[in-house]
Amino acid sequence: MVLPGLAVTLRTKDIVDKESMPDQATGNRAPRWTFQGHELDTSNFITAMIHLYRAEVTRANLWRNRLDTTTNWAVVTTAAALTFSFGSPQNPHFVLLLMLGLVLSFLNTEARRYSYYALWYHRVRMLETEFFAKMLAPPFQPSPDWGEALHDSLMSPSFLISRPEALARRYRRNYVWIVTLLLASWGIKLMIHPYLAITAHDVIERAAIGHLVSGGWVIGAVITSYAGLTLLTAGIELHYRNHRPVPRLLRVILSPFQRRKLHVNLAVMITNRKEPIAEQLMNELGRGATAIPGKGMFTGDPRDVLLCAITEAQAPRLETIVHELDPDAFVIIAQASDVLGRGFRPLEPPS
């Protein structure tokens, strides 16, 4: 349908091949990812990132469902144990204690799965906050270390939370209620079966496991274990909260840069062309360099030593820059345990 007085004309000259457009800043075509003749332009890069995001969301959902599966196992097992234990006065009470051990094994399994889930969720949040969200508001660009953080997570995946923290979280959120229900039911079982207990001495005698362990030792072990587990998980949660004093939402969003360290390297370059190399490193990689005067002990000639801290993802490009500007340079790239300061983890006083 064409509105009166409105004409729409398509001309061949109005159709611009965006892939051939030069970069406005440099006048050259934007750099592409190439591999065996295949090239990745801007549109294909965005498509690849969308597919990566969908894959990470699917994987995070899969492991989130596995968490629910383990919790369901614990709930079903507890229900079956309660049904059997209270089904007859003659059924032994220690079945509930055995089920308690089984529930704790489920907790351990769920904590391991939670560690995996946190890793996949970490990547999803990186893509959401630094790729998609940054398209919607100025300055329309991700954080400086976003690419290196995502590269580091893909190339060297590691758990973002420890097993004790995962155990504490899952216990506090789900299993504390299941464990409390089992122990409360165990106490009720001792009081009412095979008949209503009159004194505390009757309850202690019924808690005995055959002739092997007396009732006092059993009750003491159960109370100590429950109190110790609760206090331990509370202490672990308090410890990690004190070491991460930022709000939960910010902790999730900033986790790529606060909760794990990037793999960083120290590049040592011995060269006679320190200025062009340092300028290229600052322009392309955004990394500063420090020049130190040196002397070649074999030749006796003066040389310059450049020190530059880079991420693991930037190491190949640094090697290319140095080789292009000074083929005779000597380069050493060593892994650093940590780098503090501008462009890396902030230099903070010890707490």
Contact present, 64 and 117 (Cβ < 8 Å): yes
- Which tokens belong to 205? 């005698």
- Which tokens belong to 241? 């909260």
| Reported pTM | 0.61
- Which tokens belong to 34? 């190439």
Model confidence over 309-332: pLDDT tens digits?
A: 888 778 888 988 998 898 888 898
Strand partners, 305: 270, 292
Model confidence over 30-57: pLDDT tens digits?
A: 455 777 777 778 888 888 889 999 999 9
Does 6 have pLDDT greater than 50? no
Does 58 have pLDDT greater than 90? yes
Does 252 have pLDDT greater than 80? no
What is the average pLDDT across 193-200? 87
- CATH number for the segment(s) 261-336: 3.30.70.120
**Residue-range domain boundaries for the chain:** 43-256, 261-336
DSSP secondary structure letters along 10-22: --GGG---GGGPP
Band the pLDDT of 26: cuts 50, 70, 90: very low
Rounded Cα distance, 111 and 173, in Å: 12
